[in-house]
């Protein structure tokens, strides 16, 4: 089969054109309103038209292959000799199709990180990260989750109402991660605000990113003087001999990878336990436990819809398509999880079955999956224990999601419950972890990242930070959240 990719990829139908979801030569776009309104529907159209691997168009109508089959995804993930993680191989870069302003750049521009490395260099960088993550005691992680979940519940418990995406799911993972990374507790609230600001891609995102960088640098200076049992110290001490910049960048990758994905897992997990009759039945001795519910979410609504990507090291074949050297592949995690070859009936429950693609597979398989699951599982469990009559405050049909090409987010999860009294709240009077008035993190100098500077107006921050200072991380988070 010859390549279905058109020679000229620059033409774009005007907005409002009935064929807006289609690009040149009738190829389907993976971006734009049509694709983002119903990603699962798009994957099924592509599967019907092309089988396991489909040609698609990315922002700017740049061609790529979307891997839809479960086994084709595993093949791409597990054979790095054929499908590399090194984006510098991409022919679209070589041909000048990807401009520096392209929204693809934050995700795809090569960086000296384990995420973009293959072979020995990947083992060196990833080894330092995994050795660090594996040193955490799982019970210790659960204790942190319990403490922070209790503090969050205390913030809204007395009111009898809450919006669990913004008041719970978006806070918990970062609060726990600050402890694992080794930051003093007082950094938690501002880092959570900074991370949320970054995720939303607001005008103050650059200042927030600067705050995070300065905080991490400050942490590294402190830990050099007084190492502790934390990821900063372990990365700096690791025999792989990471440079300071490598330590900093990998700390950021860990924070980002952990936060974005785990926020989604908590939000969708909560939605499932509040709406799925099988879970309610479990509470009275029925079929679905909380770990089962999370497995089901990881199958049906993986926190990342796809991983971008892999690049063919030579001409090869995958799922019946001829892939050319330098072509880009997108690993369709959500599409692979819905492959009829492994799930002929999507309504059949998959409790206890962990062969989903949500954490990837092969050499880049997520090294933080146990931590992500522990945060989600313990956090939801604490919420259900403290607020036993927790219920959705709106009809399920009113819940909405926003999507981008990489991920999909539950917008709001309004709930109601019996207000908690002083007697029913946890005994220890924990300090609030969410500032009463959310603040915009101020741009902070590396010398004083924790200084409580007055929050500047959003416009002034955006105006004073030059565009070229936008980091990969800042930009990537805005792509996730749009
Ligand atoms: C529910 C939560 C999570 C999900 C669904 C998830 C999913 C993923 C996926 C799909 C990948 C990419 C695999 C590939 O390229 O083939 C990945 C990579 C990664 N994840 Fe996670 N993740 C989660 C939580 C975490 C947490 C909590 C951490 C850290 C504590 C973490 C750290 C990383 C890192 C460092 C990588 C890059 C690994 C490499 O390239 O070798 N993740 N994750």
- Closest ligand 1 atom to Cα of 116: 40
Of ligand 1's listed atoms, the one at least distance from the Cα of 180 is 30
- The string of DSSP letters for 55-75 reads EEEETTTEEEEEE--HHHHHH
Q: State in Å: Cα 257 to ligand 1 middle.
A: 6
Split at pLDDT 50, 70, 90, the class of 282 is low
pLDDT at residue number 283: 58
22: burial class by Cβ within 10 Å (0-12, 13-18, 19+)?
Answer: middle
In whole numbers, what is the pLDDT of the chain averaged over residues? Answer: 83
Q: What is the pLDDT of residue 470?
A: 38
Q: Which atom of ligand 1 is nearest to the CA of 357?
A: 10
Which tokens belong to 246? 């490598």
Q: Please name which of 146, 40, 102 lies closest in space to residue 479, comparing C-alpha atoms.
A: 102
What is the arithmetic mean of pLDDT over 34-47? Answer: 94
Give me the residues paired with residue 392 across strands: 415
- Residue 426: predicted pLDDT: 59
CB burial of 56-81 (b: ≥16 within 10 Å; e: otherwise) equals: bbbbbbbbbbbbbbbebbbbbbebbe
77-83: average pLDDT? 98
**Helices and strands (H, E) in the chain, number of each type:** 19, 13
Locate the ligand 1 atom nearest the alpha carbon of residue 129 and give its number. 35
**410 closest CA partner among 196, 197, 266, 257:** 266
- Per-residue pLDDT band for 455 (boundaries 50, 70, 90) equals very low
152-181 mean pLDDT:
95
Digit-coded pLDDT (tens) for 356-382:
999 999 999 999 999 999 999 999 999
Residue nearest to atom 40 of ligand 1 (CA): 115
Q: Is 326 left (phi over 0), alpha (psi -120 to 50) or beta?
A: left
Residue 400 sits in a domain whose CATH number is 1.10.630.10
Residue 264: φ, ψ to 5°: -65, -40
| Ligand 1 pocket: which of 267, 299, 354, 368 to mutate (most atoms within 8 A of CB) | 368
pLDDT computed for residue 284 by the predictor:
59
- Min mean pLDDT across 142-146, 147-151, 291-295, 474-478 is at 474-478
Q: Return the ligand 1 atom nearest residue 133 CA.
A: 30
Percent of the chain scoring above 90 in pLDDT: 62
Protein residue with its CA nearest to atom 41 in ligand 1 = 364
- Residue 317, beta-bridge partner list: 322
Distance (Å) from CA 34 to ligand 1 centroid? 28
Mean pLDDT of 415-426: 81
Q: Residue 210 — pLDDT band, cuts 50, 70, 90?
A: confident
pLDDT for the residue 26: 85
Cα dihedral across residues 14, 18, 24, 28: positive or negative = positive
What's the confidence (pLDDT) of residue 10? 42
Atom 35 of ligand 1, nearest CA residue: 254
Average pLDDT over residues 37-44: 95
Q: Which atom of ligand 1 is nearest to the CA of 113?
A: 40
Domain-embedded: residue 89: no
Confidence of residue 328 (pLDDT cuts 50, 70, 90): very high
Of the ranges 43-57, 142-156, 230-244, 455-469, which one carries the lowest mean pLDDT score? 455-469
Q: Which DSSP helix (H) or strand (E) runs through 198?
A: helix 188-200
Q: Within its chain, how far is the Cα of 130 from the centroid?
A: 18
Say if 440 falls within a structural domain. yes
Smallest CA separation from ligand 1 atom 37, residue: 115
Q: Which pLDDT score is estimated for 428? A: 45
Pick the range with the lowest mean pLDDT from 171-175, 186-190, 400-404.
Answer: 186-190
- Asked if the structure places residue 435 within a domain, the reply is yes
User: What percent of the chain clears pLDDT 70, i.e. is strictly above it?
Assistant: 80
335 inside domain: no
d(CA 461, CA 443): 8
Q: What is the pLDDT of residue 116?
A: 96
Does 137 have pLDDT greater than 60?
yes
Q: CA–CA separation, 208 vs 379, rounded Å?
A: 26
What is the C-alpha separation between 60 and 31, in angstroms, rounded?
9
Contact 165, 267 (CB under 8 A): yes
Domain membership flag for residue 291: yes
Q: What is the pLDDT of residue 266?
A: 98
Residue 148 maps to a domain: yes
Phi, psi for residue 269 in degrees, rounded to 5: -65, -45
Looking at ligand 1, which residue's alpha carbon is closest to its atom 3?
Answer: 261
| 175-191 mean pLDDT | 85
Reading the block at residue 298, the tokens are 């990881």
- Determine the structural domain holding residue 247 and report its residue range: 119-301+349-481
| 248 token code pair | 């900093």
Centre of ligand 1 from the C-alpha of residue 256, in Å = 9
Ligand 1 atom nearest to CA at 117: 40
Please give the torsion angle defined by the CA atoms of residues 195, 198, 203 and 204, in that order, rounded to the nearest 10 degrees.
Answer: 30
Parallel/antiparallel/unpaired status of strands 328-332 and 62-67: parallel
Lowest mean pLDDT among 10-14, 16-20, 146-150, 471-475: 471-475
Strand order in the sheet with 414-416: 161-163, 414-416, 391-392
Q: Is residue 313 part of a domain?
A: no
Spatial separation of the C-alpha atoms in residues 227 and 55, rounded to whole Å:
50
| Rounded (5°) CA angle 302-176-200 | 55
Radius of gyration over every alpha carbon of the chain, rounded to an integer in angstroms: 22
* pLDDT of residue 110 exceeding 60: yes
In the reported structure, the alpha carbon of residue 448 is separated from the centroid of ligand 1 by a whole-number distance in angstroms of 31
Q: Are the C-beta atoms of residues 111 and 249 closer than 8 Å to each other? A: yes
Say if residue 381 is exposed, middle or buried (CB neighbours under 10 Å; 0-12, 13-18, 19+): middle
Measure 134 CA to ligand 1 centroid, in angstroms.
14
Question: How far away, in angstroms, is 365 Cα from ligand 1 center?
Answer: 7
Binding-site residues, ligand 1, Cβ < 6 A: 77, 114-115, 126, 129, 133, 253-254, 257-258, 261-262, 265, 303-304, 307, 358-360, 364-369, 371-372
Least confident of 9-13, 120-124, 153-157: 9-13
282 in a domain, yes or no?
Answer: yes
Q: How far is CA 180 from CA 137, 175, 177, 194, in A?
A: 10, 9, 5, 18
Output the CA 366–ligand 1 centroid distance in Å: 4
CA of 308 to the centre of ligand 1 (A): 13
Specify the higher pLDDT residue, 79 or 12. Answer: 79
Q: Compute the average pLDDT of residues 16-40.
A: 80
Mean pLDDT of 292-299: 94
Question: Could you count the other beta carbons within 10 Å of the beta carbon of residue 143?
Answer: 14
d(CA 398, CA 412): 10
Pocket residue to mutate for ligand 1, from 76, 366, 373, 476, most atoms within 8 A of Cβ = 366
Structural domains of the chain, count: 1
Q: What's the token pair of residue 204?
A: 């103050």
Element (H, E) at 401: strand 401-403
Tell me: pLDDT of 430 over 50.
Answer: no
Q: Determine the distance separating the centroid of ligand 1 and the alpha carbon of 472, expressed in angstroms.
A: 17
* Ligand 1, atom 39: closest residue by C-alpha: 364
Nearest to 247 by CA among 350, 124, 91, 329: 124
Q: Residue with the nearest Cα to atom 10 of ligand 1?
A: 359
């Amino acid at each position: 089969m010859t390549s279905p990719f058109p020679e000229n990829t620059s033409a774009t139908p005007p907005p409002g054109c009935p064929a807006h979801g289609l690009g040149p030569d009738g190829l389907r776009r993976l971006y734009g309103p049509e694709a983002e309104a119903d990603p699962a529907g798009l994957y099924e159209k592509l599967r019907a038209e092309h089988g396991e691997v489909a040609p698609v168009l990315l922002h700017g109508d740049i061609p790529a292959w979307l891997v839809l089959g479960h086994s084709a995804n595993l093949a791409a993930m597990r054979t790095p000799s054929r499908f590399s993680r090194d984006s510098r191989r991409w022919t679209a870069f070589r041909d000048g199709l990807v401009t520096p302003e392209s929204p693809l750049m934050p995700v795809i521009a090569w960086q000296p990180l384990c995420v973009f490395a293959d072979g020995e260099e990947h083992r060196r960088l990833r080894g330092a990260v995994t050795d660090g993550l594996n040193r955490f005691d799982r019970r210790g992680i659960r204790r942190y989750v319990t403490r922070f979940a209790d503090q969050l519940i205390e913030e809204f418990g007395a009111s009898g109402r809450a919006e669990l995406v913004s008041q719970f799911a978006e806070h918990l993972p970062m609060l726990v991660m600050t402890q694992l990374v080794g930051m003093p507790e007082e950094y938690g609230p501002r880092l959570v605000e900074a991370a949320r600001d970054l995720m939303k891609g607001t005008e103050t995102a650059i200042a927030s990113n600067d705050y995070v960088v300065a905080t991490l640098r400050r942490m590294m200076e402190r830990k050099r003087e007084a190492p502790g049992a934390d990821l900063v110290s372990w990365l700096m001490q690791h025999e792989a001999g990471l440079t300071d910049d490598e330590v900093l960048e990998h700390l950021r990758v860990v924070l980002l990878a952990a936060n974005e994905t785990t926020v989604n897992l908590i939000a969708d997990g909560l939605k499932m336990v509040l709406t799925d009759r099988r879970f309610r039945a479990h509470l009275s001795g029925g079929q679905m436990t909380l770990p089962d519910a999370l497995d089901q979410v990881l199958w049906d609504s993986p926190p990342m819809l796809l991983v971008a990507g892999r690049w063919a090291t030579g001409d090869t074949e995958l799922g019946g398509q001829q892939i050319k050297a330098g072509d880009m592949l997108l690993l369709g995690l959500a599409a692979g999880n819905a492959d009829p070859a492994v799930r002929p009936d999507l309504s059949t429950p998959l409790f206890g079955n962990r062969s989903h693609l949500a954490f990837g597979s092969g050499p880049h398989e997520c090294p933080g999956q146990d931590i992500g699951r522990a945060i989600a599982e313990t956090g939801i469990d604490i919420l259900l224990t403290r607020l036993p009559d927790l219920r959705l405050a709106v009809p399920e049909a009113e819940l909405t999601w926003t999507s981008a090409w990489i991920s999909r987010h539950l917008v709001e999860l309004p709930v109601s419950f019996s207000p908690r009294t002083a007697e029913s709240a946890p005994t220890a009077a924990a300090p609030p972890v969410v500032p009463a008035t959310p603040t915009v993190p101020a741009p902070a100098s590396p010398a004083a990242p924790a200084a409580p500077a007055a929050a500047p107006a959003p416009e002034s921050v955006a105006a004073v930070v030059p565009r070229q200072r936008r980091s990969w991380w800042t930009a990537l988070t805005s792509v996730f959240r749009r």
